A = this chain, B = another copy of it.
């Protein structure tokens, strides 16, 4: 069984259980926090699963770790590679560093110094490219030709989805009797894992997705009944700009109850609300879920709802409200 076959197959419940056992020694079992004040605003009982407190500051450490620690020895020796301008690159570098193998990350030359520094701090090697899809793909292909490194896609990868699924699996173990779980949708790795875990272990829990109004390709795909890829949407929720891909569309189209949206101003307001009342640092992409709940109080009022807080990697010198 080669690495590539693993990555493109549809993951199942057994893959999630295996992923969980595999990555647990390397990651935090993140806490679940509550806020009486925010419950009062929403009328719901919200349980925030804090992946901003995860290693690398984002849930991405789960999928990346599952991919890296699932490699056979031969593939591992050649290292791993990906393209990412965000949390996945740092997460893959972290996981590769834990296993002691090479990690190459193709990043646009325009990526912030903070993001490059995060990759390097975990021992990842950055390959810069012009900021375009074709340049990125060419750079990654050249890199793989040269090094033999195994590609770990940020989300259109069965191993990554199975890894992200461990988050919802943990949440339902920590908090019983949830009526729903809501998670942001970017490329769809987290929501796919959430669907995968809950369909198997708690099928009565409804799964909701949350998207920025300005990057609502998943919502439009769901309405159209087929995959629509956005072209470079602009939103402050920079982790949610990526389009769905076939593997993640599979889960979104089959398992997601609904997709709810929020405006840019609502995202910033929800982000600030969480910082102010919950005392945790969350990035704009994470705030979309709460903003969507606040926009749809009737859907969640009186219910126990899990909210996946995806990450906390922000530039503290450039806060959106300052």
A224 close to chain B: CB less than 8 A: no
Q: Which residues of B contact A34 (CB under 8 A)?
A: 28
- In Å, the complex CA distance between A281 and B35 comes to 15
Contact of A279 among B276, B312, B319 (CB under 8 A): B312
| A317 & B312 in contact (Cβ 8 Å cutoff) | no
- In Å, the complex CA distance between A37 and B313 comes to 15
| B321 & A319 in contact (Cβ 8 Å cutoff) | no
Q: Which residues of B contact A278 (CB under 8 A)?
A: 53
A316 close to chain B: CB less than 8 A: yes
Docked complex: A264-292 residues within 8 A CB-CB of B: 272, 275-276, 278-282
Closest CB in chain B relative to A58 CB, distance in Å: 9
Contact of A275 among B31, B53, B272, B316 (CB under 8 A): B316
Contact of A322 among B28, B52, B57, B319 (CB under 8 A): B319
Q: Which residues of B contact A319 (CB under 8 A)?
A: 316, 319, 322
Size range of the chain A interface in the assembly? 20 to 34
With A55-B36, A322-B322 given, is the CB distance from A276 to B31 under 8 Å?
A: no
With A52-B279, A53-B279 given, is the CB distance from A316 to B312 under 8 Å?
A: no
Docked complex: A297-320 residues within 8 A CB-CB of B: 312-313, 316-317, 319
A9 close to chain B: CB less than 8 A: no
With A31-B31, A322-B322 given, is the CB distance from A57 to B279 under 8 Å?
A: yes
Closest CB in chain B relative to A64 CB, distance in Å: 16
A24 close to chain B: CB less than 8 A: no
| B281 & A279 in contact (Cβ 8 Å cutoff) | yes
A33 close to chain B: CB less than 8 A: yes
Q: Which residue of B lies closest to A36 (CB)?
A: B55
Q: Which residues of B contact A276 (CB under 8 A)?
A: 316
Q: Which residues of B contact A55 (CB under 8 A)?
A: 36
Q: Which residue of B lies closest to A55 (CB)?
A: B36
Q: Which residues of B contact A281 (CB under 8 A)?
A: 275, 279-281
| B53 & A272 in contact (Cβ 8 Å cutoff) | no
Docked complex: A5-64 residues within 8 A CB-CB of B: 28, 31, 33-34, 36-37, 52-53, 55, 57
- In Å, the complex CA distance between A36 and B312 comes to 16
Q: Which residues of B contact A33 (CB under 8 A)?
A: 31, 53
Q: Digit string of A236-277 for contact with B (CB within 8 Å is 1, else 0)?
A: 000000000000000000000000000000000000100110
- In Å, the complex CA distance between A276 and B312 comes to 9
Q: Which residues of B contact A52 (CB under 8 A)?
A: 279
- In Å, the complex CA distance between A169 and B36 comes to 25
Q: Which residue of B lies closest to A315 (CB)?
A: B276
- In Å, the complex CA distance between A279 and B280 comes to 6
Closest CB in chain B relative to A247 CB, distance in Å: 29
Q: Which residue of B lies closest to A278 (CB)?
A: B53
With A31-B31, A55-B36 given, is the CB distance from A316 to B280 under 8 Å?
A: no
Instruction: Identify the 5 closest CB pairs spanning chains A and B, nearest first.
Output: A279-B312, A31-B31, A279-B281, A52-B279, A280-B280
